[in-house]
Amino acid sequence: MSIIVFGSINIDLVATAPKLPIAGETLLGEDFFKVPGGKGANQAVAVAKLGVPTQMVGRVGAHGFGTELMENLQNAGVRTDNIFVDETTSSGVAMITVAHDGENQIVVIPGANGRVNQSDVERLSHILPTATALLLQLEIPVPAVIAAAQAARSKNITVILDPAPALSDLPAELYPLVDIITPNEVEAGQLVGFPVDGEDTALKAARALLQKGVKSAIVKLGAKGVVCATDKDTFFVPAFFVDTVDTVAAGDAFNGGLATALYSGLSLHQAVVWGAAAGALAATKLGAQTSLPDKLTLEAFLKERGL
């Protein structure tokens, strides 16, 4: 059995600078590098590096970065049989600025990701019987996300949705198809219509998401921890304090750790701890997929903290 990720595949063009620019400001940057990214591909690599069989379904362009992106996924141990090479467009690109404090700004050009459609969902449907969970994000068209969630639901496969980039008008029909939703505080606020800035408002937001139909709502608060709510329980997991370098893929690492723990038979509470630990480790390194921890690193990190 495997975990399947249905979503975006990008190349990340990353610039580092002392701070993030404000509107109209030109800054002198420090470094530039190019790394594979995309929230879908990041989560697939996150799961694969933690030792779980992983399959990716999505699209890349036929030219430019497409071959590089496919090879990178394969080298990470992700099966790419069901990634479609689209001859009509380029691969997705993310332009990222990272400041000294680890905060970032990202502009995404969807490219092939924006062409994901029902034909991709059909390829996904053929392999769903081999899966225990389906990981989704919102960097591909929402109709395809909904169709993928419906296909997984019809086969009783756990659906984990990272609602990023967040949409305030996310269709109501998607929520009841989701077993676990994992917004950060900004995304949670956009989904529920009020600011989320701490544990109390995160819990309020999580309960609002439950009312929309999801089974479990996890709100990530960065250095302030993680709040989780189900119809039976609520709990808080403190953050792991680390020296933050770059938070770009911390959320993807979280979902990778969460899904891996659930795949391994751990409880939701334990899975949130794994997710928080994986996210913390990812924040200690530059880049997206280059920052994702492997199984030995995550297990050592948890053991050092008595977990």
Q: Which residues are catalytic?
A: 252
Side by side, the strands of the sheet bearing 180-181 are 78-86, 54-61, 2-6, 131-136, 158-161, 180-181, 216-220, 226-230, 234-237
Instruction: Answer yes or no: is 220 a known binding residue.
Output: yes
In the 8-state DSSP scheme, what is residue 128?
Answer: G
Tokens, residue 231: 């119809």
Q: Please state, in angstroms and rounded to a whole number, the distance separating the CA atoms of residues 191 and 168.
A: 5
Instruction: Answer yes or no: is 204 a known binding residue.
Output: no
Instruction: Answer yes or no: is 122 a known binding residue.
Output: no
Q: Please state, in angstroms and rounded to a whole number, the distance separating the CA atoms of residues 179 and 181.
A: 7
Give the closest residue to 111 by CA, choosing from 145, 73, 69: 69
Instruction: Answer yes or no: is 117 a known binding residue.
Output: no
Instruction: Answer yes or no: is 303 a known binding residue.
Output: no
Instruction: Answer yes or no: is 222 a known binding residue.
Output: yes
Distances, alpha carbon 172 to alpha carbons 146, 150, 162, 177, 197, in Å: 10, 13, 16, 10, 24
Instruction: Answer yes or no: is 259 a known binding residue.
Output: no
Instruction: Answer yes or no: is 248 a known binding residue.
Output: yes
Q: Please state, in angstroms and rounded to a whole number, the distance separating the CA atoms of residues 130 and 63.
A: 31
Instruction: Answer yes or no: is 189 a known binding residue.
Output: no
Distances, alpha carbon 201 to alpha carbons 178, 205, 207, 268, 269, in Å: 22, 6, 10, 21, 20
Instruction: Answer yes or no: is 39 a known binding residue.
Output: yes
Q: Please state, in angstroms and rounded to a whole number, the distance separating the CA atoms of residues 26 and 61.
A: 31
Provide the CB-side half-sphere exposure for 148 (13 A, CA): 32
Instruction: Answer yes or no: is 287 a known binding residue.
Output: yes
Instruction: Answer yes or no: is 282 a known binding residue.
Output: yes
Distances, alpha carbon 93 to alpha carbons 13, 255, 297, in Å: 7, 22, 29
Instruction: Answer yes or no: is 168 a known binding residue.
Output: no
Instruction: Answer yes or no: is 139 a known binding residue.
Output: yes
Q: Please state, in angstroms and rounded to a whole number, the distance separating the CA atoms of residues 290 and 307.
A: 25
Give the closest residue to 158 by CA, choosing from 234, 88, 255: 255
Contact in structure between 268 and 262 (CB atoms under 8 Å): yes
Instruction: Answer yes or no: is 215 a known binding residue.
Output: no
Instruction: Answer yes or no: is 51 a known binding residue.
Output: no
Strand, coil or helix: what is 149?
helix
Instruction: Answer yes or no: is 250 a known binding residue.
Output: no
Residues marked as binding for ATP?
184, 220-225, 251-252
- The annotation places the binding site for substrate at 10-12, 38-42, 139, 252
As annotated, the binding site includes 10-12, 38-42, 139, 184, 220-225, 246, 248, 251-252, 282, 285, 287, 291
User: Which residues are part of a known binding site for K(+)?
Assistant: 246, 248, 282, 285, 287, 291
